Amino acid sequence: MKKNLLILVAFISLQIFGQKKEDIGPDVSKMIIATTKLDFDGVIDYTYPGLFDLAPKEMLVDLMKETFSNDMMSISFIETEIKTTISDVVHIKEAHYALVIFPSIVNMSF
């Protein structure tokens, strides 16, 4: 199960279209809201598109659903005030990236 959770964390990455961190703030907020509400279809909209070359969207959504709710455990987020930190956007190999940090409280039921 830990393996699935690690894979999921690797899959959730924000696709950035803006070139300044001020430009991506609204998208970051939407991604965090989708994540905390376990709206996996919404989360997948902000996932790096190159990932879909490895696995189709439907498969990734199913993996996220199975990871967050299965026979062994259930994971949910406790909604709190979201304070994010967004790094400066950097250009690497024809793409733009920024590190987004947002602390969250997770409830895990085994």
Per-residue pLDDT reduced to its tens digit, 88-97:
888 888 777 8
108 closest CA partner among 53, 79, 69, 80: 69
Domain span at 63: 2-109
Q: Does the structure show a pLDDT above 50 at 11?
A: no
| Tokens 């905390």 sit on residue | 36
CA distances in angstroms from 108 to 6, 48, 67, 69, 73, listed in the order given: 15, 27, 11, 10, 7
User: What pTM was computed for the model?
Assistant: 0.71
Cβ–Cβ under 8 Å, residues 88 and 25: no
Q: Does the structure show a pLDDT above 90 at 20?
A: no
As given in the structure block, the two tokens for residue 29 are: 């907020």
Q: Does the structure show a pLDDT above 70 at 6?
A: no
Q: What's the CA dihedral at 97, 1, 83, 24 to 10 degrees? A: 30
**CA terminus-to-terminus distance, the chain:** 12
Number of domains in the chain: 1
As given in the structure block, the two tokens for residue 25 are: 């703030």
Supply the mean pLDDT for the chain.
81
pLDDT tens for each residue of 34-68: 988 999 999 998 888 888 999 999 999 999 999 99
Return d(Cα 38, Cα 105) in angstroms, integer: 13
Portion of the chain with pLDDT greater than 70, in percent: 83
Portion of the chain with pLDDT greater than 90, in percent: 29
